[in-house]
């Protein structure tokens, strides 16, 4: 399965397909705490804004978009610049088929090139299995080496019930005594991106 999947940089032309994937999570799940599906224009702006400083990747099989993942600022204060927050959404039916692992592998390589030290994932959570909130994302991040570092209780309300929020963290390189500045994604050597998506 993995061999048939290609990674690419998201473009504005991908926005409608990406929005279609994301809309399912907004309307049917508590995986995102958004209540309303963004407009196409809003989603295009999110892609554009992310790419000003961070990678936004899509996974494809024969030109069909299977999912997408991106990073963003963990916190906007300067001292946090060596940390990034991850996000990932896969098309229904594409879980556990390799696309998510490839997307995260590339994000990790690109993040190291940006001098990022820690990746952080914010996940909605419930102690029990829930039809609106399966634990697939939690287990996915565990398999990728993320560790739970924070747990906030009953902080999100959707579909007439309360959900928790957890933070998971993965250290992708040793924090240096004097870190080099964060490198915005557009300023990376293009070969870094090309090499990151090779398998």
Q: Which domains does the chain have, with CATH numbers?
A: 2-181 (3.40.630.30)
E strands, the chain, in order:
6-9, 56-61, 64-73, 83-90, 118-125, 147-158, 161-171
Angle at the Cα of 18 (from 14 to 22), degrees rounded to 5? 165
The phi-psi region of residue 133 (left if phi > 0; otherwise alpha if psi is between -120 and 50; otherwise beta) is beta
Question: Is 60 exceeded by the pLDDT of residue 69?
Answer: yes
Q: State the maximum Cα–Cα separation within the chain, in Å, rounded to a whole number.
A: 48
Question: Is 80 exceeded by the pLDDT of residue 133?
Answer: yes
Cα separation of 95 and 18, whole Å? 16
Per-residue model confidence (pLDDT) at position 3: 59
Per-residue model confidence (pLDDT) at position 163: 97
Task: Name the band, by pLDDT with cuts 50, 70 and 90, for residue 158.
Answer: very high
| CB 172 within 8 Å of CB 111 | yes
Quick one: average pLDDT of 169-192? 94
Per-residue model confidence (pLDDT) at position 2: 55
Per-residue model confidence (pLDDT) at position 199: 53
């Amino acid at each position: 399965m993995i061999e048939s999947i290609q990674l690419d940089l998201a473009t504005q032309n991908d926005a409608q397909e990406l929005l279609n994937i994301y809309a399912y999570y907004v309307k049917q799940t508590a995986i995102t705490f958004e209540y309303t599906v963004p407009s196409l224009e809003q989603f295009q702006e999110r892609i554009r804004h992310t790419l000003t400083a961070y990678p936004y990747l899509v996974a494809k099989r024969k030109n069909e978009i299977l999912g997408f993942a991106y990073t963003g600022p963990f916190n906007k204060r300067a001292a946090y610049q060596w940390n990034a927050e991850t996000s990932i959404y896969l098309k229904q039916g594409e879980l556990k088929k390799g696309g998510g692992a490839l997307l995260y592998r590339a994000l990790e390589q690109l993040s190291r090139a940006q001098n990022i030290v820690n990746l952080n994932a914010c996940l909605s959570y419930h102690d029990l299995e829930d039809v609106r909130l399966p634990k697939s994302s939690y287990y996915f991040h565990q398999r990728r080496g993320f560790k739970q570092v924070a747990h906030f209780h009953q902080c999100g309300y959707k579909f007439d019930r309360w959900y928790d929020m957890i933070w998971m963290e993965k250290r992708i390189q040793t924090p240096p005594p004097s870190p080099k500045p964060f490198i915005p994604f557009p300023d990376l050597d293009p070969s870094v991106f090309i090499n990151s998506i090779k398998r």
